[in-house]
Chain A
């Protein structure tokens, strides 16, 4: 993984926060620096980033740390929620005109994926029992018409062309007439790629718009686009009035910050995502997935959600108190383990974290593997209540009994008791570190 996870970095940033009441402005500023970096690395336009970060900051300042034992994850959640909101809901459909044909025009920079997307949309609509007509209005690029014809042939969808000698306006107009005559209820116009600063070619599109009055003008945007996405989207929107955006080439590893940039400047819904070169590879756009992708966090967010559901906040707070009073018992230890277990198997949890995130390292450091977890659980369950509260009373014969009861060996029981004693010692040290303001290295998951 090229990018170190934002989750990791925020974890680092918030390490020093433990034990404090609320996130101060300075704490949040530190966190926002990381958020800013992550967004810029994902190619979100810097201006969009600036405003976005300001907005998130407002929400994060004063956020209660105690309420959430994991401020880093809370901030990620706020960032993620805001990103998702900003990218809007899922609106993956073409608005069908009550009076057919519905006219859709695809526009965009050179090589963005307009022609391929026209084919993909035609297929999608055909599957919905529509009768689309593809229109070859790119009269400039060598073999552009042929490209669309080949796609049409594969899909068994008619392609309207007048060759490359007619003007696009004429082609579009005749195509709509053709659709009316042949009962094609959707007209998909493929236009030539053009630069937003090419006035002549932008005028050509305006003329097509004037003539055929498309119901939808969709901007096709390459997901790999950088900072310039805002300039491009804004120009196309100003000149043509866009109705939606289609993001292509999302099947690669681009973080796709352009999605946010484009949405931010046009306000148009992102309708579909191109996920490959094949004609079936068009998917509804999912703002939430896009948000995690931009943040470079894989499925960490679904992990956070799971954690939120699984971990009982009250219990966690009670634990926090016990920790402070150094009353952490084997019961609590077991409880912690069970809460972690509720998230799924350790393997599963690790699998959700891209690029060896902080949590992965922590768990590995603690050497928790699935089998060991089960064993630990069995051992603690074989202890009496009294033993769990005060492990000091567990002498040799008790150890034998526990081992027999849990189907383990005495060494295993010894090891657990030692680990627990170490953990307790660590906590004690940790508490002292906290008091003296130094950083602690405490290792239980989900307690930061």
Chain B
């Protein structure tokens, strides 16, 4: 059999539900042996949890077996879910808000992860609560980025502050903060252009936007949300590290969880950087935003959606 054929056959096997697979595992193995752990490892790696984190989790399992917290294979998945949920839940809390005046949320991330759409969703969420929302079109680089945000603004009933393409994003942020104060907005959400975390000039530009917001409104930005695409693999770690270094992110948004990718890399992101996941995106519509629930996420890592 050729390489591709073998692979195809293998993939068909892996695609079978993991829940089903784990059930098979549980009934098929008398004890938690290495083979069992190998299969479990495959489940987690397939969910993008990453080899190092998986190794740490497997070590936890071994400790759990020793400590008699795990006595049979049936105990194993619940044990792991609890463990992963605990990692993810630490530091969870309500979104930070300004005591008086507008709350400013800045949204950052690499290209195409869903920043602008997430802003629309967040705006919609707060509009539903009767808040006055203002959006800042801080992506002055990508073709029709402002138009995109403007269309969303129209749909959710939020005003959009925009300059023309190619202008300084810090100037947009400046104007937007002034407008938010003058118009008594409850919330200002600042869109930024997608940028790869490795491009230092673009990261400097982002810092400048952040500085301007902080200077014009003490205490702001109250939240800096890093948007991560659930389809992304281990590179999300590098993204989170470098964005955190540049603008001290306060929370994560995990988008595109309506697909088949599980976004397991956030377990590593969370345990390394301590930044909590606040929201998840589950579609392209403005309603498709959910608060992040660690235990649900942990369960989903093992099951098919």
Indicate if A151 sits at the interface (CB-CB under 8 A): yes
Q: Give B141-152 as 1s and 0s: 1 = Cβ < 8 Å from A's Cβ atoms.
A: 111110110111
| CB–CB B42/A226 < 8 A | no
- B145 CB → nearest A CB, Å: 8
User: Which of B14, B47, B198, B233 neighbours the largest number of chain A CB atoms within 10 Å of its CB?
Assistant: B233
- For A47, what are the chain B residues with a Cβ–Cβ distance below 8 Å? 7, 10-11, 14
Q: Give A390-415 as 1s and 0s: 1 = Cβ < 8 Å from B's Cβ atoms.
A: 00000000000000000000000000
Indicate if A265 sits at the interface (CB-CB under 8 A): yes
Indicate if B190 sits at the interface (CB-CB under 8 A): no
B143 nearest CB neighbor, chain A only? A150
Identify which of residues 92-130 in chain A touch chain B, using a CB-to-CB cut-off of 8 Å.
Answer: 109-113, 115
| CB–CB A231/B260 < 8 A | yes
Indicate if B112 sits at the interface (CB-CB under 8 A): yes
Indicate if A65 sits at the interface (CB-CB under 8 A): no
- For B42, what are the chain A residues with a Cβ–Cβ distance below 8 Å? 46
- A287 CB → nearest B CB, Å: 15
Do A254 and B111 form a contact, CB below 8 Å, given A47-B7, A142-B148, A151-B143?
A: no
| CB–CB B196/A251 < 8 A | yes
Which of A48-56, A344-352, A364-372 has 4 or more CB atoms under 8 Å from chain B? A48-56
- For A255, what are the chain B residues with a Cβ–Cβ distance below 8 Å? 234-235
Identify which of residues 216-241 in chain A touch chain B, using a CB-to-CB cut-off of 8 Å.
Answer: 222, 224-228, 230-232, 234
- For B237, what are the chain A residues with a Cβ–Cβ distance below 8 Å? 2
- B223 CB → nearest A CB, Å: 22
Identify which of residues 265-288 in chain A touch chain B, using a CB-to-CB cut-off of 8 Å.
Answer: 265, 267, 277
- For B113, what are the chain A residues with a Cβ–Cβ distance below 8 Å? 111
Cα distance, A37 to B41, chains bound together (Å): 13
| CB–CB A140/B284 < 8 A | yes
| CB–CB B233/A227 < 8 A | yes
- A115 CB → nearest B CB, Å: 8
| CB–CB B45/A252 < 8 A | no
Cα distance, A113 to B112, chains bound together (Å): 7
Q: Give B109-127 as 1s and 0s: 1 = Cβ < 8 Å from A's Cβ atoms.
A: 0111110000000000000
Cα distance, A235 to B233, chains bound together (Å): 19
Indicate if A264 sits at the interface (CB-CB under 8 A): yes
Indicate if A64 sits at the interface (CB-CB under 8 A): no
| CB–CB A265/B7 < 8 A | yes
- B4 CB → nearest A CB, Å: 6
| CB–CB A277/B238 < 8 A | no
| CB–CB A252/B4 < 8 A | no
Q: How many B residues touch the partner, as a band?
A: 35 or more
| CB–CB A224/B4 < 8 A | no
| CB–CB B143/A249 < 8 A | no
Cα distance, A40 to B52, chains bound together (Å): 10
| CB–CB A249/B111 < 8 A | yes
Cα distance, A151 to B284, chains bound together (Å): 23
| CB–CB B7/A224 < 8 A | no
Identify which of residues 192-224 in chain B touch chain A, using a CB-to-CB cut-off of 8 Å.
Answer: 194, 196-199
Indicate if B299 sits at the interface (CB-CB under 8 A): no
Indicate if B63 sits at the interface (CB-CB under 8 A): no
- A78 CB → nearest B CB, Å: 15
| CB–CB B11/A252 < 8 A | no
Do A226 and B7 form a contact, CB below 8 Å, given A111-B114, A253-B235, A277-B141?
A: no
| CB–CB B198/A252 < 8 A | yes
B194 nearest CB neighbor, chain A only? A277
Q: Report the tally of A-B residue pairs with Cβ distances under 8 A.
A: 160
Indicate if B46 sits at the interface (CB-CB under 8 A): yes
- For A251, what are the chain B residues with a Cβ–Cβ distance below 8 Å? 196, 198-199
| CB–CB A195/B258 < 8 A | yes
| CB–CB A226/B261 < 8 A | yes
Q: Give A11-48 as 1s and 0s: 1 = Cβ < 8 Å from B's Cβ atoms.
A: 00000000000000000000000000100111101111
Q: Give B46-71 as 1s and 0s: 1 = Cβ < 8 Å from A's Cβ atoms.
A: 11101110000000000000000000
- A151 CB → nearest B CB, Å: 5
Cα distance, A110 to B282, chains bound together (Å): 12
A39 nearest CB neighbor, chain B only? B51
- A32 CB → nearest B CB, Å: 14
- For B142, what are the chain A residues with a Cβ–Cβ distance below 8 Å? 147, 277
Indicate if A146 sits at the interface (CB-CB under 8 A): yes
| CB–CB A227/B111 < 8 A | no
Identify which of residues 124-181 in chain A touch chain B, using a CB-to-CB cut-off of 8 Å.
Answer: 140-144, 146-151, 154
Q: Give B1-32 as 1s and 0s: 1 = Cβ < 8 Å from A's Cβ atoms.
A: 00110111011001100000000000000000
B43 nearest CB neighbor, chain A only? A46
Cα distance, A112 to B7, chains bound together (Å): 25
- A367 CB → nearest B CB, Å: 33
- B105 CB → nearest A CB, Å: 20
Do A146 and B46 form a contact, CB below 8 Å, given A43-B234, A267-B4?
A: no
Indicate if A9 sits at the interface (CB-CB under 8 A): no
Cα distance, A196 to B7, chains bound together (Å): 20
Indicate if A197 sits at the interface (CB-CB under 8 A): yes
Partner among A140, A226, A252 whose Cβ is within 8 Å of the Cβ of B197: A252
- For B186, what are the chain A residues with a Cβ–Cβ distance below 8 Å? none
Cα distance, A226 to B150, chains bound together (Å): 32
| CB–CB B148/A111 < 8 A | no
| CB–CB A143/B232 < 8 A | no
| CB–CB B144/A257 < 8 A | no
Indicate if B259 sits at the interface (CB-CB under 8 A): yes
B259 nearest CB neighbor, chain A only? A195
| CB–CB B233/A265 < 8 A | no
| CB–CB B48/A226 < 8 A | yes
| CB–CB B196/A252 < 8 A | yes
- For B232, what are the chain A residues with a Cβ–Cβ distance below 8 Å? 222, 224-226
Identify which of residues 127-162 in chain B touch chain A, using a CB-to-CB cut-off of 8 Å.
Answer: 141-145, 147-148, 150-152
Pull 20 A–B residue pairs with CB atoms less than 8 Å apart, ordered by A: A2-B238, A40-B50, A41-B50, A41-B52, A46-B42, A47-B11, A51-B7, A110-B256, A195-B259, A222-B231, A224-B235, A226-B231, A226-B234, A226-B265, A227-B261, A228-B259, A232-B231, A249-B196, A252-B235, A277-B142
Which 6 A-B residue pairings sit nearest by Cβ, starting from the closest? A226-B233, A111-B112, A43-B233, A150-B143, A228-B261, A142-B151
* B interface residues with partner A (beta carbon < 8 Å): 3-4, 6-8, 10-11, 14-15, 42, 45-48, 50-52, 110-114, 141-145, 147-148, 150-152, 165, 194, 196-199, 229, 231-238, 256, 258-262, 265, 284
Besides A51-B6, A147-B143, A225-B231, 7 more A-B contacts (Cβ < 8 Å) are: A111-B114, A146-B144, A195-B256, A195-B259, A224-B236, A226-B234, A252-B110
